[in-house]
Amino acid sequence: MKETENMIENNMDGELRLWLSLTRKVPAFRGAGRLCSLFSRFYARQARTEVQADMMGHRMWLDPQENIDRQLLFSPQLYEWRERRLLLSHLKKGDVFLDAGANIGFYTLLAAGTVGPTGSVLAVEAEPGNAQRLQRNIDLNKLSQVQVLNVGLSDKPETLNLGLNLSGNRGGHSFVKTGEAKVSIDCDTLYAVMKKAGVTRIDAAKFDIEGFEFKVLQRFFADAPASMVPRVILFEEHDKFREIAGGSTRILLESNHYRITHIRELNYLAVRQG
């Protein structure tokens, strides 16, 4: 353990080590995230290189110029702490977890640690650069129970333009928004992706696919047998995307026997009843 800590420290400059010695000890209180964000943005005032850091019992390569990476680097104890506490409380050893819109793998790593080597994680990420960074973090932690798929999710097999956010939030790429650039992505239905991956059930899932949650889940419920439907789903509901997406994810899940709990802002937890 000490050898790992030294390796991580040696990968960081002195200023970053100083900031992290403070921000990683900040408890959860109102405004704590904003306070740590101020420090992280100050550190990113000039060009910085990727660093490797401890992340809730795992290790990750993080880019201080990226918004989500900075949050994870400076205050992982605060990052979506309500969401992950609720989600992980529903996971156990041997479970199967789906991370749809895995980005660079924070939830993937936490779920892999919870389900253990007897469980499995399917991490789906559409954007090629994010998928490469995701795989790099999986390899760093030697997590053989994680399968990474670089594919888009939709309600039918198709090729779509993914709008890219290149202004410090690479987790904000979306099929329903026009980005600063775009990349063509092959997409398929969730049921088809699961079958190709050899996944026969999902116990819990996280969906963060920037407005495509409704389309993907509506088709999945139509395609998949009840045995494949997750008992717990953490998801985002973008009201501004509802018209484009075709409907409300909350209403769709309620009609499929889920009880919805609003966590904060755009984030909800759905637990299947019965």
**For residue 176, what is the domain's CATH number?**
3.40.50.150
The torsion of the CA quartet 142, 148, 150, 153, rounded to 10 degrees, works out to -150
Q: What percent of the chain has pLDDT over 70?
A: 93
Residues 135 and 39 placed together within one structural domain of the fold: no
93 and 175, same structural domain?
yes
**Contact criterion met (CB below 8 Å) for 109 and 55:** yes
Residues 132 and 261 in one domain: yes
Task: Tell which of 26, 55, 74 closes a domain.
Answer: 74
Structure tokens at 51: 């660093």
On whether both 115 and 219 belong to a single domain, the answer is yes
List the beta bridge partners of residue 59: 54
**Angle, in degrees to the nearest 10, between helices 67-74 and 32-43:** 110
Which is higher by pLDDT, 213 or 244?
213
Model's pTM, two decimal places? 0.92
Segments forming the whole domain that contains residue 102: 81-272
Lowest model confidence (mean pLDDT) among 120-129, 166-175, 241-250: 166-175
Same-domain pairing of 146 and 128: yes
Three-state secondary structure call for residue 184: strand
The CA distance from 73 to 81, in Å, is 14
pLDDT per residue over 177-217, tens digit each?
Answer: 766 678 999 999 999 999 999 999 999 999 999 889 999 99
Question: Which among 51, 74, 97 is the end of a domain?
Answer: 74
- Closest residue by Cα to residue 150 from 135, 162, 136: 135
pLDDT surpassing 60 at residue 5: no
Q: Judge whether 103 and 137 are in contact, CB under 8 Å.
A: no
d(CA 205, CA 223): 17
- 21 and 138 within one domain: no
**Could you tell me the two tokens for 57?**
């019992």
- What is the pLDDT at residue 6? 45
Structural domain count of the chain: 2
Mean pLDDT across 222-249: 87
> Which of 74, 102, 134 is the endpoint of a domain?
74
> Are 41 and 100 part of one and the same domain?
no
62 membership: H or E segment, kind and range: strand 58-62
Task: Verify that 136 and 245 share a domain, yes or no.
Answer: yes
219 backbone φψ class: left, alpha, beta (φ>0; ψ -120 to 50) = alpha
Residue 216 CB-density burial (10 A; 0-12 exposed, 13-18 middle, 19+ buried): buried
pLDDT digits (tens, 9 = 90+) for 71-86: 999 999 999 999 999 9
49 shares a domain with 98: no
- Give the phi and the psi of residue 113 in degrees, each rounded to 5: -65, -30
Query: Beta-carbon neighbour count of residue 93 at 10 Å?
Result: 10
- The verdict on 143 and 19 lying in the same domain is no
Q: What integer pLDDT is reported at residue 205 of this predicted model?
A: 98
- What six digits make up the tokens of 223? 């395609």
Q: Which tens digit of pLDDT belongs to each residue from 115-163? A: 999 999 999 999 999 999 999 999 999 999 999 999 999 999 999 999 8
Question: Is there a single domain that holds both residue 109 and residue 208?
Answer: yes
